Homo-oligomer: A and B are copies of this chain.
Amino acid sequence: MIPVVAVHGGAGSRRGWRNYDRVRKELEAALDEGVRAIRTGSAVDAVEAAVRYMEDSGIFNAGVGSVLDLKGGLSMDAGIMDGRSRRAGAVAAVEYPRNPVVLARIVMEKTGHIILAGRGADELAKKLSLPRHPGPSERAIKRWKELLEKVREGGNTYYALRYKEAKELGLLDTVGAVAVDADGGTAAAVSTGGVIMKFPGRVGDSPIPGAGFYADRWGAAAATGYGEVIIMSMACLRAVEKLASGSSPSEAAWLTVSSITALFGSGNVGIIVADKYGRVAAARNTEVMPWGYMRPGHRPTIYI
Instruction: Report which A residues bind B (CB closer than 8 A).
Output: 69, 75, 86, 88, 92-93, 110-121, 123-124, 127, 158-160, 162-163, 198-204, 207-210, 227-228, 231-232, 234, 237
Contacts and interface: CB of A to CB of B under 8 A. Distances in A.
A202 B123 contact: no
A120 B199 contact: yes
17 contacts: A75-B120, A88-B232, A92-B118, A93-B117, A93-B120, A111-B202, A113-B203, A115-B204, A116-B202, A117-B201, A118-B118, A118-B119, A123-B201, A124-B201, A203-B207, A209-B231, A234-B237
A244 to B, nearest CB: 14
Given A92-B92, A208-B208, A208-B231, 11 more contacts: A69-B120, A75-B120, A92-B115, A93-B118, A93-B119, A112-B228, A113-B198, A116-B201, A117-B202, A209-B231, A234-B237
A117 B163 CA distance: 19
Main secondary structure of the interface of A (DSSP, over half): mixed
A86 B232 contact: yes
Contact of A201 (B86, B110, B119, B208): B119
A231 B159 contact: no
A90 B180 CA distance: 34
Contacts of A163: 112
Contacts of A237: 234
B162 A123 contact: no
A199 B124 CA distance: 9
A114 B234 CA distance: 13
A120 B198 CA distance: 10
